Structure 1
């Protein structure tokens, strides 16, 4: 006797044709998949909010209006809440019950560890890059340095930040370990927020470009030791100015013992 089948659903495919879904008697029901659109929208909201926070378009202390964001994207508050909770896990958003949801201030106590992790990983990439860089790869770094100078001339801080990021990503790619840069990006999110505050400081971009040029020349000379020293000088110089930037933007930072 042929095993019986049960008709469990009738749906329309993309062409509008009705089709029946059948399964054998006693077979387990198919797993229910979560709606893909909700997941996609939540991911997009997360990416957009994260970029706005890191770029300081949403400043430390700014309120996060979930209802307004949901209306902007034409969705319910559920995917917005999902994105907000993920950003809270990263330390970019603070949620205060009965008070509201806000862009977090930059935690001073998190910066030293982030700097140490970044330095350890980038020392490895710049060492490998200096040992194996090709002429075309050096040319790509020089082209990037020219882009940085163009951004400097137009005082395009966001454009300079992106060119700066690309410079360091190129070094990781030349090293043969682009995944290192992915790890660095995950750990330096608070550094990026702080670093963007330094760019308008008179002479700061020129210093960064000079430091990048020193790294580039050491890599071009296939000198790993010099490349590591130039990188360390670059990262240490950024860390030194934390106190000055905190003085200029006191509301953007928080330290242990500060009132909530």
Structure 2
């Protein structure tokens, strides 16, 4: 059952490069090639298709994605800045590991940032942004009620971007952007030991608080999400 769930979540990130590129490119020239490469490679790392310790080749990735080396190199540098890969001169690109201790320290860094983002988004979100976040809240509820973890993973990625955009602070955006990919990867790797309905509900609570401009509730909801992630790390430790 767990293998089937993981397969369902990973499905969008597998297969040949060309179909994936088509799903990313919404219109000719709209999404830069380096952004397309980043989205595809980040998803493969997060879903463990590229597992920790795997050595990647820039040339092989360019061939797989059907693009030149320059956008792939730019995407890899972005992934390296986020700690998802290590670029080793003359050796290739190593997919980084993330220990439980690393993850707990990551949560220490994320807590104040997520509280601030939730507060700023609740205050600064435009009407259009609020509409998008309200829709994402409904999708989280739908994922919770149907047990659709694949839908949750998709909406969660979009929701992170929506909150950052609504918060409208480039400095905070840069800092938290370095942490989200690592957080998603840890959750995907260990999602079998979590209560999926709880994390979906907590995300919906946060989205609704922001969409309704209740900044105090949004801060509390952000805190509860971090608490959930800390409990996840402790469950992983207790299973060892």
Normalised to the residue count of structure 2, the TM-score between the two structures is: 0.63
Structure 1 CA distance, aligned partners of 2:80 and 2:56?
12
1:233 to 224, 227, 230: 224
Structure 1 partner of 2:25? none
Describe how 1:75-224 pairs up with structure 2 within 5 A.
87-88=79-80, 90-94=82-86, 102-131=94-123, 137-151=129-143, 153=146, 155-157=148-150, 159-177=151-169, 180-201=172-193, 203-204=195-196, 206-219=197-210, 222-224=213-215
2:42 matched to which residue of 1? Answer: 50
Counting matched residue pairs gives 208
Could you list the runs of 5+ residues in structure 1 that have no partner in the other structure? 1-39, 251-260
Whichever structure has more strand as a proportion of its residues is 1
Q: Please identify, of 160-169 and 216-225, the stretch whose mean Cα deviation from structure 2 is larger.
A: 216-225
CA contact (8 A) 1:50 1:87 kept: yes
Higher relative contact order (CA 8 A, sep 6+): 2
Distance of 1:188 and 1:195 partners within structure 2: 11
Aligned to 1:64: 56
Contact 1:215 1:227 in 2 (8 A): yes
What per-residue deviation string (whole Å, max 9, x for no partner) do you get for residues 72-101 of structure 1?
357898986776576456433357799875
Alpha-carbon contact 1:138-1:216 (below 8 Å) kept: no
CA contact 1:114–1:188 (8 Å) conserved in 2: no
Structure with the greater alpha carbon radius of gyration: 1
Q: Which runs of 5+ in 2 are unaligned?
A: 1-31
Measure the CA separation in 2 of the matches of 1:187 and 1:82: 19
Counterpart CA distance in 2 for 1:243 and 1:218 is 28
RMSD value over aligned CA atoms?
3.9
